[in-house]
Amino acid sequence: MADDVFCMIINGEIPSTKVYEDDAVLAILDISQATRGHTLVMPKAHYSNILHCPPELVHRVYDVAQKIGQAAIVSMGATGVNILTNAGESAGQTVPHFHVHVLPRYDHENNGFEITMKDNKPDTLALPAIAEELRKNLKF
C-alpha cells in the first residue's frame, strides 16, 4: 500500500464522507466541493493514475462514476455532469492515486469549476502527421 491520502482513507486512517463502497471501489465526497455533490471514485488498490490501472478495474470505477452522475441528475437537480480524471502532474493531478471526478453541474449556478479548451488553430495539414505519431505506439 502506498501512503497517499486516498490510501489512508481506504485504510480507515483518516475520515471521509462515503457515497459508495464495494469490494474494489470507493466513492467519497471531494473535500473541496468544486460543485455541489463533487465526488471522487477510486479503486481501493493503489494505482498511481488511470494509465497504470488494469482495464477491468478502470471499467468498474467508471461504472460507479456513471451511476453517481445519474443519481446527481435524479436526486440533486443537476442538469449535467462532468466526469474526468487527471493523469500526471502536468495534467493537474495532485493526489497520485487513480481517481475519477464526478462534478454535477447546475443551470444558472456559479461554482468553482470551469473547463476551457482553446482552439490552438493547428495547421490542418499537420493533422494526419499528428494522428500517425499517436498510432505508432497505439497498442491493444
Using CB under 6 A as the criterion, what x/- string covers residues 79-98 for binding ligand AMP?
-------x-----xxxx---
The grid coordinates listed for 86 are 487527471
Question: Which of 4, 5, 62, 106 forms a contact with ligand AMP (CB under 6 A)?
Answer: 5
Residue 129, SS3? Answer: helix
Query: CB-wise, 28 or 81, nearer to ligand AMP?
Result: 28
Compute the Cα dihedral for 36, 37, 40, 44 and give only its sign.
positive
Asked about 99 being catalytic, the answer comes back as yes
Placement of cell 471526478 in the chain: 101
Closest CA to 106 of 34, 32, 33, 35: 35
> From the CB of 17, what's the least distance to ligand AMP, in Å?
8
Collapsed DSSP state (helix, strand, coil) of residue 32: coil
CB-nearer residue toward ligand AMP: 40 or 53: 40
Positions annotated as catalytic residues are 99
Q: Site residues (CB under 6 A) for ligand AMP?
A: 5, 16, 28, 30-32, 40, 86, 92-95
